[in-house]
Amino acid sequence: MAPTTTDRKRKAVTRDTPEISDVESDAEFGDGLLEGILSQSEDSDDGSDQDSEEDEDEEDDELGEINALDSDGIPSDGPENEAEETNGGLNKSNGTTANPLRQLASPSTLEDDDKPNYTITTDANGGERYVYEEIDPVYDSDDSDAPATTNTIGNIPLTFYDSYPHIGYDINGKKIMRPAKGEALDALLDSIDVPRGWTGLTDPATGKPLNLSQDELEILRRIQTNELPEEGYDPYPATIEYFTGIEEIMPLSAAPEPKRRFLPSKHEAKRIMKIVRAIREGRILPYKPPQEQEEEEEAIHYDIWQDEQSRPDNIMNIPAPKMAPPGYDLSYNPPPEYLPTKAEKQAWESADPEDREKEYLPTGHDSLRKVPGYEMFIKERFERSLDLYLAPRVRKNRLNIDPASLLPKLPRPEELKPFPTVCSTVFRGHEGRVRSLAIDPLGIWLATGGDDGTVRVWELLTGRQIWSAKIGDDEAVNVVRWRPGKDALILSAAAGEDIYLLVPPVTDPETEVTSRDLLDAGFSYATNATQALTANGARKEPVAKWSRPGSRLEDEGVLIKITVRTTVKVISWHRRGDFFSTVSPTAQKSAVAIHTLSKHLTQIPFRRLPGIPQTVQFHPSRPLFFVATQRTIRSYDLQKQELVKIIQPGARWISSFDIHPGGDNLIVGSYDRRLLWHDLDLSTRPYKTMRFHSKAIRAVKYHKGGFPLFADASDDGSLQIFHGKVVSDMMENATIVPVKVLKGHKVKSALGVMDVDWHPREPWLVSAGADGTCRLWM
Amino acid sequence: MGKIKKKGVSGQAKNFITRTQAVRKLQISLPDFRKLCIWKGIYPREPRNKKKASKSSTASTTFYYTKDIQYLLHEPLLQKFREQKALEKKISKALGRGDAHDAQRLERNASRPEKTGKTKYTLDHVIRERYPTFIDALRDLDDCLSMLFLFANLPSTPTVPAKMIARCERLCLEFEHYLIVSNSLRKSFLSIKGIYYQATIQGQDILWLVPYKFNQRITGDVDFRIMGTFVEFYQTLLGFVNFRLYTSIGLVYPPKFDKSRDDQGAELGAFSLEGNGVGAIEQPKQITNGDSAKPDPKLQAEIDKLMSQLNEPEKEPPTSQTLGENEEDEEEQPTDTIDKFEPAAPGGDILLQPSYSATDPSTLFSNFTFFLSRETPRQPLEFILRAFGCKRIGWDAVLGEGAYTHNELDPAITHQVVDRPPIQVVNDDDMDEDNQTAQKLKAGTRVPGRIYIQPQWVWDSVNDEELKRPDLYAPGAQLPPHLSPFVKKVRGQYDPSAPLNEQEREDEELEADSDMDEEEDVSEEDNMAVQKPKLLIGDEVDATAEGMDVAGSEEDDSSANEDADSFGGFSDAEEEEDEATSTALQRQRELEAELTGVALEEKEIDPRAKAKADARKKAAKRAKEEDEELERAKMMMSRKKRKIMEKMVYSNKKKDAEAELLRVKRRKIEKSGKAAPRD
């Protein structure tokens, strides 16, 4: 709180104080004590109280002013003066000596009060110490509001003191002086100001003027006018019925109506007696027998299909199948062939009822009267009903076709002809197995090579041995192959690490000369080639050595011997007859070698191969070279020197393969008994897999002379001939039809047929067997 | 990329629900569910992929189509079931309280169909739903009739109330009446199980089975509640079907039912049919003397016999003449009917032709008066005879009410159905004389002038739509085999009615012979058979036929004589014996002749045997080649196709083997039968 403002206010209040005191409480006019209390309270009052008081003051000022104006015509300068006057007047009217004193003293008491209620002493440390006065904890000790009981005379009429100047004693035993009663002054005051509620009466209890409030006046007025003294009092309010005449649903008591309250109805008693009499006389039946009502009422029938509408068949609706109609064997007198024999009867009886094909046994009766009842009738009917509602139904499409129509349409064997069917010639002479054979390009001679180290040439049709040469001293002849081309007759054979080129002296001399010339032509190139090698300074061992085999063999017709590093197993000629390739599976790097006949040159095309090479082939028309490893066949472009395709037959160990003369198909034989047909345009996977052999397949061969045939040779001693027609139409697959199994070779030490070859023109087949024979099949 | 499909929310997983799920969804008990399924015709399905439908649960369950179950949800019967269930609960509660009176009152409300045969509900709407058209209902009538006819013949038990049986019987008889009136019965077959009937109504073939009149053996594993549920449905169905059928031919349904006659065993006769304004059906007229109106059946029979005898050399079927002159007239006229195409050479496909029967089923027996002996089954005979036009059927009084006559000696009787063995009457001429004078009808006696036949004659005549030769069916005669008329002839299957050599494979006989040769020592008779079995068979048939005819003619002659003289006792026994002895003699003679013949032919055997061996060799070679061919073709098939083919071949082979077995048996029987043929 800002001190300035309080000060100011205080000033104002102090100035207004007398005014307030007289205006506010008219009843206290005579009471001087009130002044001090008022001033005291003013001091302690806070601002808000003061504000309100100020407001009231102003009101009262105006009121006073109005009163003054009304009551007497004393001119006044302004409200303030007026107020001062009244103030002064009041003070005069109070007229007590003590009052001014008090008024004077009051500031001092105020000051006393302001005096601190403590003493300053020095404490033990010598510092200031405030010692506060004891507070007397009496009731009202701090009560400033409690009205001071002024008169202590008790409850006696004040008239007792009429003769005394005082009217009683205060609490301290001092006389309370009778307030001033100047008639003139009072009259003046009254003329000046009639306070509100002034009655002009004196309260007999206090002796003070009796003032009545507005409310009390109003009550008086109402009493006078014979109205009810209290406002808003309704002397005739509407009745509130706490207990009504309406009966509630839930009775207060659940006790049933006592029977003593029952009054029998005479009318009912009459009617009852009437019925009783009727029952006694039998005119009324007391109850209906229950059967009667159930008896009748037949089911009502009507035309339920009067407005029938067919419903379209739903696919999910499966009507129950009808029972099968009875057959002949169900007859009571069936044809005798339907009656079971004794054995059948026994079998039926001994079988478990569930295992029986029919649940009844056909029985014959020679007349109808002998037919017994059928024991299983109810059972069967019951099972049928179970089927009707319990058996899952499913739509099954029965194939009602002739199974023969499912068979593929194969050309008849007659249409597939010709193919070899019988063995016409057997070539005997080899000791031990015949490992390889070949028919010369003209189709006249058959060359064979076997375990005995000899190469033999036979006349194909007669089976006569024409020529023989022993080239491997202690090694078997692994392979013999003719050089393609009809101009010369050159045979190549491999025994051990040596490859021999022979010109068997079986043809006319001119051919023989050209053949020898062909072989010899390369010697000059060969020397150059070796020189070139030395010039390179490599000085390494040549991969193959081309040489003359020695005079003994030369006389027999063996003209060139090529020595490579390891055993040669396969020889394969290029179609022109200038190149041939050999495979020696055991050699790592130089396993595949390509030899050039005209240059006596041997090249190793592959530095490294992904597996052990098994066999090689030249493509019949394009510059492609096929190498078969154990699992895959790779084709290389010889010109571009790159890998073209990897064919994966899926066999474990490829034994041999052959390329169709058309060049787009090849067959692969494997040691795991599979024969696989590959369409090179189609896929790298086999088009057909045939597994008709029980043992490994050693050799496969296409017919190269125009017949759509191919054959395989197996260790189970059989040859299988297939018809494999390749059409030029790209959209049509090859048709492969097995046509013939040729059996004749004996299996020796788990080896059957070692090699096969086709005649270049005829549908003839030659096969080399492990039993030391060769056979011509035609 | 498409949205990833959630598993189990569409397709098969949604389309099928298990039975447990279905019951839960419907909130009913399993027996109620069963009832609903039976009535509504809802059956489990086999989902195409069981794993998907069962949401990969492996337990084996039955699956229902979800839409079927949804359809059941709206079933009014479901509400009835629930009400019934609530009522049952109330009753059991009342009983639990010991409030017997209340329980009784509630009990009166409960429907107890197993006791009363009456239900609170009707199945009419179910019938209408299941069979939207009348044809649909007819199509499904097989099981209905079989079941109701069975229940009509059951004894009443606590599970099968007598009322239910009575109702079944009534419905069945009403249905039979319709068949009789409309002549819709087509075929019938006496089997060891019972009697099969086939009727054709509005183009629908209905086949049902009626048990023989015996007490049915009831085994413990038969649940009559299930059967009862079916019966309940079938009764409603047949009621409506009957109504429709009756009204379609202008009759009032239900027909009047005479309870007192039924109690006396009148069966079919207990009903009287009335026309509903269109016109009443004709009742069998009582003829006192039919001779004037109709050709005398006895005389007719004689003429027929004579005719047949005359026609014998021309090998005409003699039975076709038995119907009378009017039919002969018809035969002469050019007809505009469809000609029957018979395959000239084997191997062609069989083309179906609309069956055109020359005889109207309503006239087959219309001219005859039948009398049923007391040992014959009256009900089926009466029904079948009536259904094929017979108006007058008499039977022994033992067999019940409703007969045209109970008097066996009624002169109007033309045919008597007998099923008892001929009793050998003491062969005494005096006795014969006595019999002629005295009143007869002792065992083994015959009334002259009527045809005595065994019951099978009726059935065979009906199935072949022509009257069979009665002599083949005479009492005591060895009956010809009774063949099922329902078997459709399929090429390659065995047909007992066709001669053996027509249906066997070309080389089958050869093979069979070779088997025989191997297993049997070569006897003279066998050699004979090997040489020309077909010829012999033919001869044999002819010979027996001749023999029979001869015997028949003798009988006819004698009976004609008797006719001319007077009615009197006449014993056939002697003649039959004569007949037997004569045939035996004949056989003896034949055997002797054969013996001598063999001696002559024995030398000629060698070249024939050689030819036969050649043929056999050739056949073997051909078979081998065919096998090779087949093997080659099979080699080129994919494995899947090969499997299918092997399955088909297997089933075909099984059928072939069955047929072959029958042929072998028949061949054997025919061969041995040559030595001892059946009479």
pLDDT, tens digit, 9 for 90 and up, residues A730-744 = 667 777 888 888 888
Q: Which residues in A lie closer than 8 A to residue B191 (C-beta atoms)?
A: 326, 330-332
Predicted local distance difference test score (pLDDT) of residue A565: 86
Greater pLDDT, B361 or A231 = A231
Predicted local distance difference test score (pLDDT) of residue A212: 83
* B122/A304 touch (CB, cutoff 8 Å), yes or no: no
Mean pLDDT over B599-618 rounds to 70
The answer to whether residue B54 neighbours chain A at the CB level (below 8 Å) is no
Please tell me which of the candidates A303, A362, A737 has its beta carbon nearest to residue B636.
Answer: A737
Residues B129 and B266 grouped into a single domain: yes
pLDDT, tens digit, 9 for 90 and up, residues A440-467 = 998 889 999 999 889 999 998 888 898 8
d(CA B15, CA B63): 9
Residues B194 and B61 grouped into a single domain: no
Predicted local distance difference test score (pLDDT) of residue B578: 52
Predicted local distance difference test score (pLDDT) of residue B226: 93
* B496/A368 touch (CB, cutoff 8 Å), yes or no: no
Strand partners, B208: B197
* B456/A374 touch (CB, cutoff 8 Å), yes or no: no
d(CA A321, CA A496): 78
Residues B258 and B141 grouped into a single domain: yes
d(CA B545, CA B468): 14
DSSP assignment of A332-397? SS--GGGSPPHHHHHHHHHS-TTT-SSSS-----SSGGGPPPPTTHHHHHHHHHHHHHHS-B----
- Distances in Å between the alpha carbon of A537 and those of A533, A602, B418? 7, 18, 126
DSSP assignment of A413-445? HHHH-----SEEEEEE--SS-EEEEEE-TTSSE
Q: H/E element holding A209?
A: strand A209-211
pLDDT of A18 higher than 50 = no
Query: Which chain B residue shows the shortest CA-CA distance from A361?
Result: B192
Structural contact between residues A477 and A436, judged by C-beta atoms closer than 8 angstroms: yes
Q: How far is A407 from chain B (nearest CA, A)?
A: 6
**H-assigned helices in B465-503:** 500-503
Predicted local distance difference test score (pLDDT) of residue B574: 45
Predicted local distance difference test score (pLDDT) of residue B303: 58
What are the domain boundaries of chain A? 413-526+541-777
Domain membership of residue B429 (yes or no) is no
d(CA A768, CA A754): 5
* B419/A368 touch (CB, cutoff 8 Å), yes or no: yes
- In the structure, what pLDDT confidence band is assigned to residue A295 with cuts at 50, 70 and 90? low
Among left, alpha and beta (phi > 0; psi -120 to 50; other), residue A733 is: beta
Predicted local distance difference test score (pLDDT) of residue A689: 85
* B486/A326 touch (CB, cutoff 8 Å), yes or no: yes
Q: What does pLDDT average to over chain B?
A: 75
**Amino acid code (one letter) for A344:** E
pLDDT of A103 higher than 70 = no
Query: Which chain A residue shows the shortest CA-CA distance from B664?
Result: A337
Residues B56 and B172 grouped into a single domain: no
What share of chain B in percent tops pLDDT 90? 27
Please tell me which of the candidates A325, A369, A378 has its beta carbon nearest to residue B150.
Answer: A378
Mean pLDDT over B525-532 rounds to 40
Query: Which chain B residue shows the shortest CA-CA distance from A401?
Result: B648
What share of chain A in percent tops pLDDT 90? 21
Residue A62 burial (CB count, 10 A): 11
Q: Cβ-count burial of A365 within 10 angstroms (0-12 exposed, 13-18 middle, 19+ buried)?
A: middle
Greater pLDDT, B304 or B90 = B90
DSSP assignment of B80-104? HHHHHHHHHHHHHHHHHHT-HHHHH
Structural contact between residues A573 and A579, judged by C-beta atoms closer than 8 angstroms: yes
Which of residues 59 through 78 in chain B touch A, CB cutoff 8 A? 62-63, 65, 67
- The pTM score is 0.54
Task: Tell me which range, B24-33, B330-339, B444-453, is most confidently predicted by mean pLDDT.
Answer: B24-33
Residues B69 and B92 grouped into a single domain: yes
Please tell me which of the candidates A305, A337, A401 has its beta carbon nearest to residue B496.
Answer: A337
* A320/B211 touch (CB, cutoff 8 Å), yes or no: no
- Domain of residue B221: give its range: 123-272
Q: How far is A409 from chain B (nearest CA, A)?
A: 8
Mean pLDDT over A302-310 rounds to 88
Strand partners, A176: A168
Task: Tell me which range, A578-587, A701-710, B30-39, is most confidently predicted by mean pLDDT.
Answer: B30-39
Residue B222 CA neighbour count, 13 Å, CB half: 20
Residues B130 and B255 grouped into a single domain: yes
pLDDT of A23 higher than 70 = no
Predicted local distance difference test score (pLDDT) of residue A268: 96
Domain membership of residue B336 (yes or no) is no
pLDDT of B528 higher than 50 = no
pLDDT of B567 higher than 80 = no
Greater pLDDT, A110 or A121 = A121
Residues B382 and B247 grouped into a single domain: no
d(CA A216, CA A39): 31
B21-35, B160-174, B434-448: least confidently modelled range? B434-448
Residues B249 and B134 grouped into a single domain: yes
**H-assigned helices in A537-590:** 551-556
Please tell me which of the candidates B137, B483, B644 has its beta carbon nearest to residue A331.
Answer: B483
HEC secondary structure over B331-398 = HHCCCCCCCCCCCCCCCCCCCCCCCCCCCCHHHCCCCCEEEECCCCCHHHHHHHHHHCCCCEEEECHH
The b-or-e profile of A179-215 (16+ CB within 10 A means b, else e) is beeeeeeeeebeebbebeeeeeeeeeeebbbbbeeee
**Amino acid code (one letter) for A266:** K
Strand partners, A570: A583
Q: Which pair of structure tokens corresponds to residue B615?
A: 């043929």
pLDDT of A71 higher than 80 = no
Residues B22 and B92 grouped into a single domain: yes
Please tell me which of the candidates B190, B193, B637 has its beta carbon nearest to residue A368.
Answer: B190
Residue A691 CA neighbour count, 13 Å, CB half: 9
Q: Which pair of structure tokens corresponds to residue A524?
A: 């000059």
Predicted local distance difference test score (pLDDT) of residue B490: 78
Mean pLDDT over B230-245 rounds to 93
Domain membership of residue B40 (yes or no) is yes
Predicted local distance difference test score (pLDDT) of residue B333: 47
pLDDT of A278 higher than 60 = yes
A53-57, A251-255, B216-220, B372-376: least confidently modelled range? A53-57
Residues B132 and B257 grouped into a single domain: yes
pLDDT of B565 higher than 50 = no
Structural contact between residues B236 and A299, judged by C-beta atoms closer than 8 angstroms: yes
d(CA A278, CA A280): 5
Please tell me which of the candidates B139, B244, B478 has its beta carbon nearest to residue A366.
Answer: B478
Which distant-in-sequence residues (6+ apart) come within 8 Å of B530 by Cβ? Answer: B513, B516, B517
Q: Which residues in B lie closer than 8 A to residue A401 (C-beta atoms)?
A: 648
What share of chain A in percent tops pLDDT 70? 77
Q: Which pair of structure tokens corresponds to residue A332?
A: 């009571």
Residues B155 and B227 grouped into a single domain: yes
* B216/A294 touch (CB, cutoff 8 Å), yes or no: no
DSSP assignment of A86-150? HHHHHHHHH--SHHHHHHHHHHHHHHHHHS-SEEEEE-TTS-EEEEEPPP---TTTT-SSSPP--
Structural contact between residues A776 and A765, judged by C-beta atoms closer than 8 angstroms: yes
Predicted local distance difference test score (pLDDT) of residue A280: 92
**Strand pairing report for A498-502 and A558-563:** antiparallel
d(CA B394, CA B407): 8
Query: Which chain B residue shows the shortest CA-CA distance from A399?
Result: B648
CATH code of residue B385 = 3.40.50.10190
Q: Options 2.130.10.10, 1.10.1670.10, 3.40.50.300, 2.40.30.10; which CATH number does A413-526+541-777 get?
A: 2.130.10.10
- In the structure, what pLDDT confidence band is assigned to residue A359 with cuts at 50, 70 and 90? confident
Which of A382, A415, A677, A692 to probe by mutation at the B interface, max B CB count within 10 Å?
A: A382
Q: What does pLDDT average to over chain A?
A: 78
Terminal-to-terminal C-alpha distance of chain B = 84
Tell me how many degrees the CA angle B545-B546-B549 measures, rounded to the nearest 5: 85
- In the structure, what pLDDT confidence band is assigned to residue B580 with cuts at 50, 70 and 90? low
* B227/A326 touch (CB, cutoff 8 Å), yes or no: no
Which of residues 634 through 673 in chain B touch A, CB cutoff 8 A? 634-637, 641, 644-645, 648-649, 652, 662-663, 665-666, 669
A35-44, A131-140, A253-262, B68-77: least confidently modelled range? A35-44
pLDDT, tens digit, 9 for 90 and up, residues A752-761 = 999 999 999 8
Mean pLDDT over B521-527 rounds to 40
* B46/A394 touch (CB, cutoff 8 Å), yes or no: yes
Residue B324 burial (CB count, 10 A): 15
The full length of chain A comes to: 778
Residues B109 and B130 grouped into a single domain: no
pLDDT of B111 higher than 70 = no
Q: H/E element holding A711?
A: strand A709-714
Domain membership of residue B56 (yes or no) is yes
Q: Which residues in B lie closer than 8 A to residue A311 (C-beta atoms)?
A: 132-133
pLDDT, tens digit, 9 for 90 and up, residues A466-518 = 888 888 788 889 999 999 988 888 999 999 888 998 888 888 888 888 888 88
The residue with tokens 């025919």 is B670
d(CA B306, CA B302): 6
Greater pLDDT, B483 or B446 = B483
Strand, coil or helix: what is A529? helix
Structural contact between residues B559 and B449, judged by C-beta atoms closer than 8 angstroms: yes
**H-assigned helices in B215-353:** 224-248, 259-263, 297-311, 325-332
d(CA B606, CA B614): 12
Which of B39, B120, B193, B221 to probe by mutation at the A interface, max A CB count within 10 Å?
A: B193
Task: Tell me which range, A411-425, B22-36, B154-168, B418-432, is most confidently predicted by mean pLDDT.
Answer: B22-36
Domain boundary among B433, B454, B473: B473
Q: How far is A717 from chain B (nearest CA, A)?
A: 20
pLDDT, tens digit, 9 for 90 and up, residues B624-677 = 888 887 887 777 777 888 888 888 888 888 888 888 888 888 888 888 875 444
Sheet of strand A735-743: strand arrangement: A697-702, A709-714, A718-725, A735-743
Torsion of CA B316, B319, B323, B326, to 10 degrees: 0
pLDDT of B196 higher than 90 = yes
pLDDT, tens digit, 9 for 90 and up, residues A139-198 = 655 555 655 557 788 888 888 888 888 888 888 888 888 776 677 777 777 677 666 777
- In the structure, what pLDDT confidence band is assigned to residue A75 with cuts at 50, 70 and 90? very low
Predicted local distance difference test score (pLDDT) of residue A580: 92
Predicted local distance difference test score (pLDDT) of residue B645: 85
What are the phi and psi torsion angles at A351 (to 5°)?
-70, 155
Which of residues 448 through 507 in chain B touch A, CB cutoff 8 A? 454-456, 478-479, 481-484, 486-487, 496
pLDDT of B314 higher than 60 = no
Number of domains in chain B: 4
pLDDT of A43 higher than 60 = no
Domain membership of residue B671 (yes or no) is yes
* B479/A367 touch (CB, cutoff 8 Å), yes or no: yes
- In the structure, what pLDDT confidence band is assigned to residue B280 with cuts at 50, 70 and 90? very low
**Amino acid code (one letter) for A412:** R
Mean pLDDT over B174-182 rounds to 93
Contacts 24+ apart (CB under 8 A), A537-544: A542/A602, A543/A590, A543/A593, A543/A602, A543/A603, A543/A604, A544/A593, A544/A595, A544/A602
pLDDT, tens digit, 9 for 90 and up, residues A589-612 = 888 999 988 888 888 888 888 888
Closest to A424 measured CA to CA, from A759, A185, A103: A759
HEC secondary structure over A646-683 = EECCCCCCEEEEEECCCCCEEEEEECCCCEEEEECCCC
